[in-house]
Amino acid sequence: MSDRKPATAVLLAAGLGTRMKSSLPKAQHPLAGRPMLQHLIESCSAVFDRIIVVVGPGMEALEKAARPHTVVVQAERLGTAHAAMQAAGLFGEGDVAVLYADNPLITQSTLERLLATRRTTGTGLALLAMRPADPARYGRLVTRPDGEGGETVDRIVEWADASPEQRSIGLCNAGVLCAEARRFAGWLAQVRNENANHEYYLTDVVALAASEGAQVRYVEAPEEELRGINSRAELAEAEAVIQRRLRLRAMANGATLVAPETVFFSADTILGRDVTVHPNVVFGPGVTVGDGTEIRAFSHLEGAFIGERAMIGPFARLRPGTQVDAAAHVGNFVELKGTHLGAGAKANHLAYLGDATIGARSNVGAGTITCNYDGVSKHRTIIGEDVFVGSNSTLVAPLSLGDRAFVAAGSSITSSVPADGLAFGRARQETRADRAIELRARIRKEKR
């Protein structure tokens, strides 16, 4: 039985993200349909035993996004070391890593390497580093040989304070630190705010650890994974990274993406095997697609469950609460909301079906709508099995059509129809011989 003590991840999420020019906290901005904070939580949950999230005052929505993990509030924004100190009383006795919520692309494997490096004999403090194509204003890692064929980090020099020689260093700080809880808390307590901004900086922990003789080692990872998000442009770049990952995952799991670069997923999208997704399809949050289903071009799906061997689109819209059963068809310019389309049922053209239950093998004709809203409340339409609804029909809810009912094209149906019933709900047609000649003559005369 292992006697290893629990490891804790502290996620700093109190930043306002001034450069985002938004009323949302930075960590609440969405990537692939969920707040960026939740992406980092997902990676950390696979590696660490506990997660603590540090937020700023008035960030109730972000606190909700952090649930069920522990949340502490940094009442005053006095710097990153100060933010980490707010969680120091919860560090416990194992290893602690401090991460930034605006670094949501860090993978599980990188965090595992970080923790393994910290637990290597003699490593007092481990950190993440990268070699960006453009080091720009990143802090540089000043290192020296450790006598064992590797390197130890002496300090991090911020770009503004670096000499020309130090600015030429390609190895840059990614901001993530990991150490034994007691030592980490001690170093945090020693950080001072003797700088131009009078803030307590987490990076000062590196020099403090080195000054005490602690072995400081770094774990290098790709820039794509460690980049921070501080602007809308960087948010878009991060979205592109996550979408590439999600597309590769979908294809590795057995889905065909005809034009992968045009398909956009949410982080929780689930595709079965032998699913085919055509170009320009968007998956919002909460979509599951069964094996063998085909999603045709220009469709938008959100909060929907789709069974096996179904056909969706092109140009279909599935809104939250929709369930499409096996072998059902949802065709071009058909919108479903809160609707259950039974096995083998079809709505192939130009329809709105809201708050409806449609039985197996029923056919809904082009131009059909369920009138589900009366201006105050939503009402449900229940359509049985093997029902035929003719084109351009209006079904005024609440309403039910029994099994095998038949609704004539162009009908406005306001009363329920029994099983095997035939319903007409349209005005009687009148035809007047030769009146078209008279009508055209009058129109031409009025046009002069």
Contact (Cβ atoms closer than 8 angstroms) between residue 102 and residue 27? yes
pLDDT of residue 157: 86
Give 160's pLDDT tier (boundaries 50, 70, 90): confident
Domain coordinates in residue numbering, the chain:
8-226, 232-423
**Residue 409 assigned as binding residue:** yes
pLDDT of residue 107: 96
Q: Do domains 8-226 and 232-423 have the same CATH topology?
A: no
Q: What is the 3-state secondary structure (H, E, C) of 306-361?
A: ECCCCEECCCCEECCCEEECCCCEEEEEEEEECCEECCCCEEEEEEEEECEEECCC
More confident residue, 139 or 97: 97
Handedness of CA 211, 214, 219, 225 (dihedral sign): negative
Q: Per the structure block, which two tokens stand in for 333? A: 């310019």
pLDDT of residue 198: 85
Handedness of CA 177, 180, 181, 186 (dihedral sign): negative
pLDDT more than 90, % of the chain: 80
For residue 408, is it left (φ>0), alpha (ψ between -120 and 50) or beta?
Answer: beta
Give the DSSP per-residue string, 57-96: TT-HHHHHHHTTSEEEE-SS---HHHHHHTTGGG--SSEE
More confident residue, 379 or 16: 379
Residues contacting 350, CB < 8 A, separation 6+: 332, 333, 334, 366, 367
Per-residue pLDDT reduced to its tens digit, 263-322 = 999 999 999 999 999 999 999 999 999 999 999 999 999 999 999 999 999 999 999 999
Residues contacting 231, CB < 8 A, separation 6+: 19, 20
Distance CA 141, CA 171 (A): 6
- Whether the per-residue pLDDT at 196 is higher than 50: the answer is yes
Tell me which H or E stretch contains 300.
strand 300-301
pLDDT of residue 101: 95
Mean pLDDT of the chain: 94
Fold of 8-226: Spore Coat Polysaccharide Biosynthesis Protein SpsA; Chain A (3.90.550)
Residues contacting 306, CB < 8 A, separation 6+: 287, 288, 289, 290, 293, 312, 318, 323, 324
**Residue 14 assigned as binding residue:** yes
Residues contacting 352, CB < 8 A, separation 6+: 334, 335, 368, 369, 370
Contact (Cβ atoms closer than 8 angstroms) between residue 302 and residue 285? yes
Residues annotated as catalytic are 349
**Residue 196 assigned as binding residue:** no
Give the DSSP per-residue string, 15-73: ---GGG-SSS-GGGSEETTEEHHHHHHHHHHTT-SEEEEEE-TT-HHHHHHHTTSEEEE
Residues contacting 178, CB < 8 A, separation 6+: 95, 96, 97, 98, 114, 115, 117, 118, 125, 126, 127
Contact (Cβ atoms closer than 8 angstroms) between residue 330 and residue 349? no
Give the mean model confidence (pLDDT) for residues 76-100.
Answer: 94
User: Considering only CA atoms, which of 410, 378, 416 is closest in space to residue 394?
Assistant: 410
Per-residue pLDDT reduced to its tens digit, 355-394 = 999 999 999 999 999 999 999 999 999 999 999 999 999 9
pLDDT more than 70, % of the chain: 99
Give pTM, 2 decimals.
0.90
pLDDT of residue 440: 87
Of the CA atoms within 13 Å of residue 386, those in its CB half-sphere come to 6
DSSP lists the bridge partners of residue 394 as 369, 412
pLDDT of residue 418: 96
Per-residue pLDDT reduced to its tens digit, 397-408 = 999 999 999 999
**Residue 426 assigned as binding residue:** yes
Give 120's pLDDT tier (boundaries 50, 70, 90): confident
More confident residue, 136 or 422: 422
Superfamily of domain 232-423: Hexapeptide repeat proteins (2.160.10.10)
pLDDT of residue 284: 98
DSSP lists the bridge partners of residue 412 as 394
SS3 207: helix
**Residue 12 assigned as binding residue:** yes
Residue with the two structure tokens 């004709």:
365
For 150, counting Cβ atoms within 10 Å of its Cβ (0-12 exposed, 13-18 middle, 19+ buried), the class is exposed
pLDDT of residue 98: 98
Contact (Cβ atoms closer than 8 angstroms) between residue 400 and residue 381? yes
**Residue 86 assigned as binding residue:** no
pLDDT of residue 3: 59
Handedness of CA 337, 297, 324, 409 (dihedral sign): positive
Per-residue pLDDT reduced to its tens digit, 311-356 = 999 999 999 999 999 999 999 999 999 999 999 999 999 999 999 9
**Residue 354 assigned as binding residue:** no
Of the CA atoms within 13 Å of residue 43, those in its CB half-sphere come to 24
Distance CA 43, CA 314 (A): 35
**Residue 133 assigned as binding residue:** no
pLDDT of residue 149: 66
- Whether the per-residue pLDDT at 77 is higher than 70: the answer is yes
- Whether the per-residue pLDDT at 186 is higher than 60: the answer is yes
- Whether the per-residue pLDDT at 1 is higher than 60: the answer is no
